[in-house]
Chain A
Amino acid sequence: MPRIRYLVITALLLNTGLARADIAMVTNADNGIDQLSQSEALNIFMGRYRKLPNGALALPIDLAPLKARFYHSLVNKDLAEINSYWARLVFSGQGSPPQQADSAAEVINLVVHNPSALSYVDAARVTPEMHVVLVLPE
């Protein structure tokens, strides 16, 4: 009986994992960064503290088609709230929002060519040249 229960739980877990497309936060594979905590990711993307665990200045990149889902799972805010947040920082001259990529291909290109780039893609679309440092469940 216990074995069957485990099987059922495993099946359920696998099922939810497949049904929901998580968001994978990715960096350049050669920058030595193993993983990132959610609060580090939040500090970088919200412009509070743009420091990577290896000490370098992080270059955050938003992926336009995935942006709404990303900020929803990172800080539980919708895009109007994110823009409102940035309006305060931009118009007080304190910083600027992440640069924006229009496609996953553009993200891959930026991540491959810049060791400080940090971005995100749909977890199902991670390619070998990217290194996943954090998975945000949706």
Chain B
Amino acid sequence: MSNSAWVVGVRAMMSLRYLMVCLLALLPASAWAQTWLDSNRFTFSGFGTLGVVHNNSDKADFIRDLSQPKGAGEGWSARVDTLLGAQARLKLNDQLDITMQGISRYHYTGNFRPELSRAVMSYNPTPDWQLRAGRLGWDAYLLSDSRHVGYAYTWLRPPVDHFGILQLDYIEGVDATYRHPLGNGLAWAKLFVGRSKSHVVLTDDLSAGIDINHIYGGHLNYATGPWQFRASYAQGDSEMDLSFSYTGGADNLYALYLNHLIKKATDFSHIQLYSLGMVYDPGAWQLQAMLNRSETDNDLVIDSGFASAGYRVGPTTPYVMYSQVWIRYPELPAGQSFDQQTWSLGLRYDVASNLALKTQLDRVHVLGSGLLWRGTEADWDGGRITLVSLGLDFVF
């Protein structure tokens, strides 16, 4: 390990320890506080996850999404899932409110440096309309703007195959939502416009700052009884600022080739996203399915999807999920691919009405070398990896 890498490592551990201390200090309070349900003009609330994951493979380190430069190697790690978020909301009147939200999670900076993730002014002139401006959550897909709020969903983490690749956290812009009763249900449409700056770590050696300008998009929703459906579309112009710092040997031709390929594949200037989603939630059963397609002007196509089913019995919800990502690019030679499939089996146990304990077993089948993995061995060409995770999600 080089000296600077060692310093970064120590810093990451220090910030992880700092985060743990914060979380533990908050936990006793969370058992009673629930200030997020307050009716006052000013509310302070938060969410967080204490999570550990065990990776059985010494060939590849697991990451939750492409913002994470290092992953969870063989053994246990608290790095990928542990996070803390806090929100301050000021209600100016019945129509107008301001929300600021920050999050501390392990991301592209290589530590848990907090980030301002939402800064929203929301205006509701009538019950039918909502207009928002500022730094808004990326709401192109169902759940995409709440994927760090573990308490809000059943799984230990949202499916990595689906939410791990090329996802934005937020956009700077405006959105408008219109709601209208239709038949026995409710229909709503949202349109958003904005731009986004984000960072992704594509491989151990290749990271990029991505500026997406002229983001336009929207979605149509229909909810009736236990059903909810969503169809979305978004597009944007992308500028990528790649930085390549190769640390491997010149003899590792495969790594060099892989970097070259990914560099080329991500060198696009226009991207279009399509998504379909549905939820069926009649009470005990919770079924969800989603399908996404991203297409770029250099013929990169990323398809992903998942389906999950849970069944609630009292405070316990066992669930099963299948997810998959398929990446197609014309320059990929036959037989080579960046596909992966995951079967997940898990359990959510609601300890209290603001605290949930979860465990999840993931069996990941990596076909070809993985894009969603770090620290991969030169001879690694995929295979099956088993992950066991434990998590404690809370809101306060």
**CA of A104 to CA of B283 in the docked complex: distance in angstroms?**
28
**CA of A73 to CA of B94 in the docked complex: distance in angstroms?**
28
Using A87-B152, A87-B395, A93-B118 as known contacts, say yes or no to A80 and B87 having CB atoms under 8 A apart.
no
The answer to whether the Cβ of A15 comes within 8 Å of any Cβ in the partner chain is no
Contact segment of B69-77, B195-203, B211-219, B348-356: B348-356
The answer to whether the Cβ of B9 comes within 8 Å of any Cβ in the partner chain is no
Cβ contact within 8 Å between A50 and B37: no
Cβ contact within 8 Å between A100 and B356: no
Please report the number of residue pairs spanning A and B whose Cβ atoms sit closer than 8 angstroms.
98
The answer to whether the Cβ of A88 comes within 8 Å of any Cβ in the partner chain is yes
The answer to whether the Cβ of A99 comes within 8 Å of any Cβ in the partner chain is yes
User: Lowest 3 CB-CB distances: which A-B pairs, in order?
Assistant: A99-B39, A51-B127, A88-B152
Cβ contact within 8 Å between A92 and B353: no
**CA of A90 to CA of B45 in the docked complex: distance in angstroms?**
9
The answer to whether the Cβ of A48 comes within 8 Å of any Cβ in the partner chain is yes
Cβ contact within 8 Å between A79 and B39: no
> Chain A, 65-105, contact with B by CB distance < 8 Å: what is the 0/1 string?
00000000000111111011111101111101101100000
Q: List the A side residues contacting B127 at CB < 8 Å.
A: 49-51, 56-58
The answer to whether the Cβ of A43 comes within 8 Å of any Cβ in the partner chain is yes
Closest to B184 in A: A39
Task: State the B residues within 8 Å of A (CB).
Answer: 34, 36-39, 43, 45, 47, 85, 87, 89, 91, 94, 97, 99, 101, 118, 120, 122, 124, 126-128, 130, 132, 136-137, 139, 143, 145-146, 149, 151-153, 179, 181, 184-186, 223, 282-283, 312, 315, 350, 352-354, 356, 395
Q: List the B side residues contacting A99 at CB < 8 Å.
A: 39
Closest to A39 in B: B184
**CA of A76 to CA of B283 in the docked complex: distance in angstroms?**
6
**CA of A68 to CA of B353 in the docked complex: distance in angstroms?**
11
Using A57-B127, A58-B127, A93-B99 as known contacts, say yes or no to A87 and B184 having CB atoms under 8 A apart.
no
Cβ contact within 8 Å between A100 and B37: yes
Cβ contact within 8 Å between B126 and A92: no
Cβ contact within 8 Å between A92 and B151: no
Q: Contact partner of A83 among B43, B97, B395, CB < 8 A?
A: B395
Cβ contact within 8 Å between B350 and A48: no
9 contacting pairs across A/B (C-beta < 8 A): A48-B179, A48-B186, A56-B127, A57-B127, A78-B353, A80-B354, A83-B151, A84-B356, A87-B395
